Amino acid sequence: MKFLLKTTVSLGVLCLTAGAAFADCGIEGTGSVRILGNDFEALRLVNTTAEECASGTVTVTANATAEHKNLQVPALSINPAEYTVAEVANNSIVPLLNQDLIRPLDDLVAKYGASLQPNQLIKIDGKVMAVAFMGNAQHLFYRKDILDKAGVAAPTSYEDMLAAAAKIKDAGLMEYPVAASVKPGWDLAAEFVNDYLGTGADFFAPGSAELSIDNEHGLKVLETMRAMSKFMDPDYLTFDANSIKAEYEAGKTAMMVEWGSLAGATIDDEGAAEGVVANTVLAAAPTIGGGTIPAAALWWDGFAIAKNISDEDAAASFQAMVHAISPEMVAANPAVATWLVAGYEPGPAAVGVIATANGGARAYPMQPYMGLLHTALSTELAEFMAGSEDAEQALADVKAAYDTAAKEGGYL
């Protein structure tokens, strides 16, 4: 009995304190907030902050899963939609736009979006379709001590990296000085997209779905990727972003192009060999072929609100998400991501992404047929990277595979 009393009291206290926490979220009206998004630290933080908005009249649930891209279109197609909020990025918003599954947010921004900055608003045809809250890019991580020992300056281009890698290898400092995530599939295609963006050329003929990578820029990119692979661990074709982070932390490699969102976990005190963290420098993504812009795609992560839900749910969802990405949340968690929110003071893990963005890197393209190209690249470049095919053939294969898919998708 005494135990029961204690439990009741503590539960009551819990409810009261929780209620106090809910109060500052201040959602007007009732509604249900159901979030679908990818599964990484920054998004989990956003989701838990949004969950603070749960109250007697508002329910908040979140599903953070790596399978979000496969879930989002079917889940938002039904009416009412399974999720009210989709956390999206440059690429994953495209299927939602193509199928007309997300709603314009202009009225909600005007009513509840006072804390948002103009550059956070993703506008398509003049209408706000999503709100971005963090940026990400692949950029250069390098070991200052190893480069100093080899007597080379900090690399700023892929050509510098190749020269530095040759020196490090010749000096016997490291067997495999370079690492990149080139596992066939999404990673390999992303690597090509990064480098091709760095050449300044466009993937498609203006205003059409006609592919235009079969040129000297495409060849230059492939040539560079092949040259880099000579300095990589021979198992490079099985390495994704997490594997190269492990290689780097183990002190086996001196330079890698890696996601900015993994920088925090790389330079923390956990998991790294002696001397790796202290000597790690984060820099802008390298340029390519004498170009001036960093060869990396800039990504934003943001949220969009489903179309097939009631206006009350949409209003509640928007308010919960604005609370979740509030300047207060960002001020309390500056190290978790490269936030795009007002008042963000970049931490040491964000310098690489910011240097890449300031260097004028281009955003990952949002054309509706970009996903088809990404898939074509992900399978057709594998043989080239394995060394069993030449660059001309690889580009011709990519074009043939893309054309086949684009015809089936109704774009050509």
Partner 1 sequence: MPHKTFFAFILPSLIAMILFIALPIVSVVVQSLYVEHPRVLVEVQNCQPFGGCTTEVRVDTAAMAELKASAPMGQFNGLGTYFNRGHLAFSEVGAILATNSGIGDIISRIYNLPFYKALAFTLVFCFVVTPLAMTLGFAIALAVNALPKMTKGPVIFFSLLPMIITPLVGSLILYWMIQPNGIIGASLQHLFNDPTLSLRQSPALTWASLLFYGVWTNAPFSFVVFYAGLQTVPGDTLESAMIDGASRWERVRYVIIPHLMPLATFVALVQLMDNFRVFEPIVGFSAEANATSLSWMIFNDLSGDSQLFGSAGATSVLTIVGVIILLTPVLIRTWRDFNHKVV
Residues contributing to the site for partner 1 (CB under 8 A)? 69-70, 90-92, 94-95, 97-100, 119-126, 132, 135, 183-186, 207-209, 234-235, 237-238, 298, 300, 340, 357, 361-363, 365-372, 374-375, 378-379, 382-383, 385-386, 388-389, 393, 397, 400-401, 403-405, 407-411
- Of residues 101 and 316, the one with the C-beta less far from partner 1: 101
Residue listed under structure tokens 């999720």: 83
- Of residues 26 and 360, the one with the C-beta less far from partner 1: 360
Rounded CA separation 13/19 (Å): 10
Smallest distance, Å, CB 411 to partner 1? 5
Smallest distance, Å, CB 50 to partner 1? 21
Residue listed under structure tokens 């020196």: 167
Smallest distance, Å, CB 315 to partner 1? 23
Tokens of 373: 């190209």
- Of residues 318 and 384, the one with the C-beta less far from partner 1: 384
Tokens of 80: 């009412």
25: nearest Cα among 57, 66, 1? 57
CA torsion sign, 360 to 361 to 363 to 367? Answer: positive
| CA 168, chain centre distance (Å) | 31
Smallest distance, Å, CB 234 to partner 1? 5
Residue listed under structure tokens 């003071």: 345
SS3 208: coil
Smallest distance, Å, CB 33 to partner 1? 24
- Of residues 72 and 266, the one with the C-beta less far from partner 1: 72
Tokens of 323: 């609370």
Rounded CA separation 155/164 (Å): 7
- Of residues 323 and 374, the one with the C-beta less far from partner 1: 374
Smallest distance, Å, CB 346 to partner 1? 15
- Of residues 219 and 405, the one with the C-beta less far from partner 1: 405
Rounded CA separation 54/73 (Å): 26
Tokens of 381: 């470049």
Smallest distance, Å, CB 96 to partner 1? 10
Smallest distance, Å, CB 157 to partner 1? 21
Smallest distance, Å, CB 204 to partner 1? 8
- Of residues 30 and 409, the one with the C-beta less far from partner 1: 409
Rounded CA separation 262/38 (Å): 15
Residue 372 to residues 37, 211, 216, 329, Cα–Cα distance (Å):
22, 11, 22, 37
Rounded CA separation 218/193 (Å): 10
- Of residues 159 and 383, the one with the C-beta less far from partner 1: 383
Query: CB-based contacts of 87: which residues, under 8 Å, 6+ apart?
Result: 35, 36, 37, 38, 43, 46, 68, 301, 302, 303
- Of residues 281 and 354, the one with the C-beta less far from partner 1: 354
With residue 320 as reference, give the H or E element that holds it.
Answer: helix 311-324
Is residue 231 a contact partner of residue 178, using CB atoms and an 8 Å limit? Answer: yes
Smallest distance, Å, CB 61 to partner 1? 25
Q: Which amino acid is at 147?
A: L
- Of residues 82 and 210, the one with the C-beta less far from partner 1: 210
CA torsion sign, 306 to 310 to 313 to 314? Answer: positive
Smallest distance, Å, CB 29 to partner 1? 29
- Of residues 82 and 240, the one with the C-beta less far from partner 1: 240
SS3 393: helix
SS3 404: helix
